[in-house]
A = this chain, B = another copy of it.
Amino acid sequence: MGITKTQIFNAEQNELAVIFKVLSNPARIAILQYISQQDACICNDIVDEIGLAQPTISQHLKELKSIDLIRGEIEGKTVCYCIHLPKWTAVQASLNSFFDTTKSNCC
């Protein structure tokens, strides 16, 4: 997205922005919702479900993995993707902290 001047912001601001950026695509939202509904989730199932090409899904999964929101466990030929609950909960707590803190002094 063009050059973001990350160096002029603090760690919390940059980390929040990264989390929001990973979640800022409807395909990744849909992937997360779909994964959460499956017992054992396989990438190819996601491709059929979402309606994007396999390389595109693979790229989105990589971005979700980059902040540890999901983890992939290799099972033979396939990969079982799961939401990584500790991180998922931590991210939700971070966002709530941001929303609570930021509104506190609001006019």
Q: Which residues of B contact A103 (CB under 8 A)?
A: 36, 83, 85, 88-89
Tell me if A1 and B1 are in contact (CB < 8 A): yes
Tell me if A26 and B33 are in contact (CB < 8 A): no
Query: With A9-B26, A20-B20, A29-B17 in contact, is A36–B102 under 8 Å at CB?
Result: yes
Number of contacting residues on A, CB 8 A?
49
Q: Which residues of B contact A14 (CB under 8 A)?
A: 26
Tell me if A24 and B17 are in contact (CB < 8 A): yes
Shortest beta-carbon distance from A13 to chain B in Å: 4
User: Is A32's beta carbon under 8 Å from chain B?
Assistant: yes
CA distance A99 to B83 in the complex (A): 11
